[in-house]
Structure 1
Amino acid sequence: MLARFDEPIAAIATAPGRGAVGIVRVSGRNVQPVIDAVCGRALRPREATYLPFRAADGSPIDHGLALHFPAPHSYTGEDVLELQAHGGPVVLQLLLARCLEAGAALGLRVAQPGEFTQRAFLNDKIDLAQAEAIADLIDASTEAAARSASRSLSGDFSREVERLREALVHLRMLVEATLDFPEEDIDFLQQADAQGQLERLQQTLGQLQQRARQGALLREGIKVVIAGQPNAGKSSLLNALAGAELAIVTPIAGTTRDTVQQTIQIEGVPLHVIDTAGLRDATDEVERIGIERAWSEIRQADAVLFLHDLSRREDPLYQAADAAIADQLQRHLGPDVPVLQVWNKTDCIPSANHAGASEDVWLSARTGQGLEALRKRLLQLAGWQAVPEGLFIARERHVRALQEVQAHLTQSAACLQARQPALDLLAEELRQAQQALNTITGEFSADDLLGVIFSSFCIGK
């Protein structure tokens, strides 16, 4: 995103569509000409004023509230004007057009996606992790994700990263000082307990990684694909997990021709569950395409529920088809993708015939028996470990950055523990660890990374 940050910007800051109230936001080094033209009077800082919003000929476009936030005490750190009008899309478009007209001499233009928040970041109002938390709070699909995003927005995650960074900088300082005074070298580092400091760093990092993984799970969730032969009960299982009749269920094999997806939440963790066409050799062209799509979803899954029909368990043909699917799953899936064996239709056979592996799940999608056990196993597959309080939202890029820090600290430990410690290599590994850590809060971030992050925001934010 190649934005010009010396130009003032304007945008509708509320969601598209009709509503009781809509907001038009303007931000720049000086928005006074827009205030004078649209509001027709001076505004007291940070005080809502009810007045008519004027068109170029002086006629009112609408009546509403105007607020002026002088720099630097605003969301973006610049002068900000917010006009709260009635939430009709035509009214808001007229109001935005009037602002652009009034600010034409200033170079006022329509904001790009995320540009208001990007300016807040560039003007040191928030760091990059907090900026991302704003988008995550807006997009939160569960209450737990919203609360965690709010903690990240308030700076909880950033403070954890900063504490780790300060400890890392202190250790770097010791090593760099030793390089400047080589006659002191190892004795100096031993007296300063460099080894102990590094071990404590790794321990703190491990705790932060664990919480970041949980935070990323709250934000991203996992993709769970239900796979199996026709009429195993895949659609019934999706409906049971979702608590709604989302997929068509009939006794006719091949009823499901396309994928059906629903996001459910278990203990606040979003799981994107996908029902797929029954896997078999199909001659019908439509069903064949559905099966191809099923395998496409399976290859992209974070976890697979391999659903079996208990009522056909003793049928040799059914067993052979299940074995063929299991072999294909092994070829299509990576080694880190778990496959959970789920046996459906326990209501159709005696409980004495429910023998199988201890990690398998036995249930009836029709009666709901065993669904709670499946939910618990899904959380285990996701890697969820509930943290009582203080969990912050995180993104996959944060997790990868912390993994990079871990790799550099591991190399640092190897350098320090060598028979002849390579202090120059140790210093370099610590420097790279700090650089990886800095990418989380944006103290070191490439412009293209910023472009990707902020382009995912909505316009007006």
Structure 2
Amino acid sequence: MLSIDSDPIVAIATAPGRGGIGVVRISCGRGGEAAAEALMRALCGQTLPPRHASYVAFVDGGGAVLDRGIALYFPAPHSYTGEHVIELQGHGGPVVLQLVLQRCLEAGKAFALRLAEPGEFTRRAFLNDKLDLAQAEAVADLIEASTEAAARSAGRSLEGAFSQDIRALVDEVIALRMLVEATLDFPEEEIDFLEAADAHGKLAHIHERLDRVLIEARQGALLREGLSVVLAGQPNVGKSSLLNALAGAELAIVTPVAGTTRDKVAQTIQIEGIPLHIIDTAGLRETEDEVEKIGIARTWGEIEKADVILHLLDARAGVTAEDALIAARFPTGMPVVRVLNKTDLTDVGPEVSRLVAADGDSGICEIRLSAKKSEGIDLLRAELLRIAGWQAGTESVYLARERHLIALRAAREHLSLAAEHAELGNRSLDLFAEELRLAQEELNSITGEFTSDDLLGVIFSRFCIGK
């Protein structure tokens, strides 16, 4: 767990390795004006003007120049962490940055200056009310974004779009709670507060608004995490060819020899900005080859962890007895797309169809395509987007995490229970009020207004050092 004290902290804020510019960042802790002034004089030989870029020499204890660069001073509370912050921007060589860092620690010894832990700068920004928790998480998401769409969505979360929607929901829940509490406090009043204020309508509106937020959050989580897609099937049905067609590059070896792929080949691609982690696996069959057996065992391991299974078959043979046995082993409830490959060798062109199950429900999706000729690949891409729940043109999506989805689903469940109690009238008003309170707590946990220190430790420990 991260330290929560207010000692001055320092870290190299740029990525490891060589670069044109490297940054050493210092946050001087609460009431750290004296520390900031002493460090500026020790490191730069002068007091820096606030929010002004100064070209200075970074000096060691004896006055010798370690490097020259830009020094910036941000007095509290107008800084990233809300504390007095100094940034030294010099040359990006690892040796010179370490020399400057060691000089900072030496100069700040009297003030207990120490190395920052992962995420500690952003954690302090959260604790000092510069960012809420959802915004703080968006900092890490922006750094780690693997697609342009994910980066844009993380930027929206960092600007507070997600937090604003959550706070608007909380405000509506609080307003409804006040009505319910008023009815509980003054039961003898002739006026029915809940009916007069349309409490049922307000609750329905909150529920509807929460559902919209949840839809956007689901898509944001999808942009962040992506979808794990496993290519499975018998040997020589074209799994490697399909991987190459989806990726638009020759990533996997393709030969007519069955069993060419012995181990998984993974590649991340993008469809509409969504990362898809495509995994080509060894062909599933009975074999005496020990190496191939290991590959097949690993294939089933990947299938167990998948979000979607693409079950490849040869379009000329259709669903064989062996294919049926493979499909029977797929995990229950796992989305499966049956891909009939090599359709260019048949009389039927690329197409998509949905097989109706015996109970009348929509069954498995079946797509005919030719991976070798890249015919029908767009049909498969569209089906993967459908399974992911992606909706085109959602520019307002903000990046979300699994914990956000859990909290939103829990809040929705509490609102549903509140609606059930509301139908019972005065007999169940106390339970109505309690479910609203629990829904509010779940929503507050997203922005950090109701969050345990243990959760904070987990969240910020995953940040990079210097952020």
TM-score, normalised by the number of residues in structure 2: 0.94
Percent of aligned pairs with the same amino acid? 60
Question: Against the structure 1 CA distance between its residues 185 and 55, is the aligned structure 2 distance closer, same or farther, given a 3 Å change threshold?
Answer: farther
Superimposed CA distance per residue, residues 168-218 of structure 1 (whole angstroms, 9 cap, x where no aligned partner):
000111111221112238822111211111111111111111111111111
- Say which SS state the counterpart of residue 427 (structure 2) adopts: coil
Superimposed CA distance per residue, residues 45-67 of structure 1 (whole angstroms, 9 cap, x where no aligned partner):
01111111101221111111110
Distance 1:70 1:355 in 2: 62
Q: How does 1:48-67 map to 2 (within 5 A)?
A: 48-67=53-72
What's 2:361 paired with? none
Superimposed CA distance per residue, residues 294-333 of structure 1 (whole angstroms, 9 cap, x where no aligned partner):
11111111111001112443xxxx812111101111xxx1
Pick one of 437, 442, 460 that aligns with 1:436: 442
Distance 1:437 1:148 in 2: 20
Say if 1:9 and 1:27, in contact at 8 Å, map to a contact too. yes
Cα RMSD for the two superposed structures: 1.7
Pick one of 282, 288, 300 that aligns with 1:283: 288
- Say which SS state the counterpart of residue 72 (structure 1) adopts: coil
Q: How does 1:26-65 map to 2 (within 5 A)?
A: 26-29=26-29, 30=32, 31-65=36-70
1:89 aligns with 2:86: no
Superimposed CA distance per residue, residues 210-261 of structure 1 (whole angstroms, 9 cap, x where no aligned partner):
1111111111111111111111111111111111122222222111111111
Q: How does 1:381-420 map to 2 (within 5 A)?
A: 381-418=387-424
Pick one of 242, 247, 251 that aligns with 1:246: 251
What's 2:18 paired with? 18
| Aligned length, in residue pairs | 453
What's 1:378 paired with? 384
Distance 1:51 1:151 in 2: 36
Distance 1:179 1:454 in 2: 41
Any unmatched runs of 5+ in structure 1? none
Residue identity in the other structure for 1:348: L
Say if 1:179 and 1:185, in contact at 8 Å, map to a contact too. no
1:39 is displaced (CA, Å) by 0.7
1:75 aligns with 2:86: no
What's 2:130 paired with? 125
Q: How does 1:175-186 map to 2 (within 5 A)?
A: 175-184=180-189
Say if 2:351 and 2:376, in contact at 8 Å, map to a contact too. no
- Say which SS state the counterpart of residue 296 (structure 2) adopts: helix
Distance 2:391 2:139 in 1: 24
Distance 1:340 1:292 in 2: 21
Pick one of 164, 167, 187 that aligns with 2:169: 164
Say if 2:183 and 2:192, in contact at 8 Å, map to a contact too. no
Pick one of 203, 213, 222 that aligns with 2:227: 222
Residue identity in the other structure for 2:320: Q
Say if 1:215 and 1:394, in contact at 8 Å, map to a contact too. yes
Question: Against the structure 1 CA distance between its residues 63 and 132, is the aligned structure 2 distance closer, same or farther, given a 3 Å change threshold?
Answer: same
Say if 1:178 and 1:185, in contact at 8 Å, map to a contact too. no
Say if 1:52 and 1:60, in contact at 8 Å, map to a contact too. yes
Residue identity in the other structure for 2:90: A
- Say which SS state the counterpart of residue 373 (structure 1) adopts: helix
What's 2:275 paired with? 270
Distance 1:302 1:285 in 2: 28
Distance 2:314 2:5 in 1: 61
Say which is worse superposed, 441-450 or 355-364, in terms of deviation.
Answer: 355-364
1:425 is displaced (CA, Å) by 0.8
Any unmatched runs of 5+ in structure 2? 356-364
Say if 2:352 and 2:367, in contact at 8 Å, map to a contact too. no
TM-score, normalised by the number of residues in structure 1: 0.95
Question: Against the structure 1 CA distance between its residues 229 and 393, is the aligned structure 2 distance closer, same or farther, given a 3 Å change threshold?
Answer: same
Say which is worse superposed, 125-134 or 349-358, in terms of deviation.
Answer: 349-358
What's 1:340 paired with? 337
